[in-house]
Amino acid sequence: MKSAVLAVLTVAAALAGCAAPSGARPGATESASASPATGASGVLAPFSGIERLDPKGPWATWIFHPTKKPTQFRSVSVDGVRVVEAVSEQSISGLQHQVDVDPGERPILEWRWRVDRVLETADMRDRHGDDSPVRVVLAFEGDVSTLPLKEQMFFERVKLLGGQDMPYATVMYVWCNRVEAETVTPSAFTSRVQKIVVESGGEGVGQWRSYRRDIVADYERAFGRKPGRLVAVGVMSDTDNTRLSARGWYGDIRLLSRAE
């Protein structure tokens, strides 16, 4: 496995998302409890068990752009439970956790997050407004040589700029203000990054929102085929394009079998 499967990109600000009209979200439920789920089955280190983030730890610092201000991440206690707080002030960065998982064996992704505001001018369909206060990001393996030449050339440019290989396919779950829930939209730069809106508008602001997604079904919907191995999971908060500020919180993220 490559040392950093989520590529450091000088163009990565465009691989983001946004926030818009409210509505029901299949796979999402509102939670009144501040206690995150536990028992990550050893796949992902739970945020609830981390008192201080280590830039080189299981959830390593993930920098997108060397000249842009990074979002600040820290472990905090909310109602007696450790979660990760992200403070984004015209900034962009994330945390990444390497894994080696067969999505067929662990197809269920569960997580929860909370935001203190939506980004009013953000729009995930526009590279100039492509921001989101919270995201969960999945990176998958695959054979890049089977992709169209245009995509292969983009991958080469990314490696030249960032010094690392870009994942074969990336799925981003985002909170977007101008796009309705369950919309799937590609990055403005490459179809190999697909964004799925799981929360839309301001109805859930200030509340913990909990999600349970079938990542195999979501991948097939986004890319039209079954996924390869899952090689990294990340969280990302960005407001660099809209020049706004936002605060978000992430609870534990779990990869589960269908029986769990």
pLDDT tens sequence across 213-230:
999 999 999 999 999 999
- 59 pLDDT tier (thresholds 50, 70, 90): very high
Average pLDDT over residues 197-224: 95
User: Is the model's pLDDT at 231 over the cut of 70?
Assistant: yes
Q: What is the DSSP string of the chain?
A: --S-SS---TTGGGG-----S----TTEEE----PPP---TTTS--GGG-SS--TTSSSEEE---TTSPPPEEEEEEETTEEEEEEEEES-EEEEEEEEEE-TTTS-EEEEEEEES---TT--TTSTTS--EEEEEEEEE---GGGS-HHHHHHHHHHHHHHSSPPPSEEEEEEEESSS-TT-EEE-SS-TTEEEEEEEESSTTTTS-EEEEEEHHHHHHHHHSS----EEEEEEEEE-TTTT-EEEEEE---EEE-TT-
Span 158-198, pLDDT tens digits: 888 767 788 999 999 999 888 889 999 998 788 999 999 99
Superfamily for the 12-256 domain = Galactose-binding domain-like (2.60.120.260)
| Structural contact between residues 10 and 189, judged by C-beta atoms closer than 8 angstroms | no
Question: pTM for the whole thing?
Answer: 0.84
Look at residue 12 in the predicted model and tell me its pLDDT: 37
pLDDT band, very low/low/confident/very high, at 10 (cuts 50, 70, 90): very low
Q: Please give the pLDDT value at position 187.
A: 87
Q: What is the pLDDT confidence band of residue 124, given thresholds at 50, 70 and 90?
A: confident
Average pLDDT over residues 107-133: 88
Q: What percent of the chain has pLDDT over 70?
A: 83
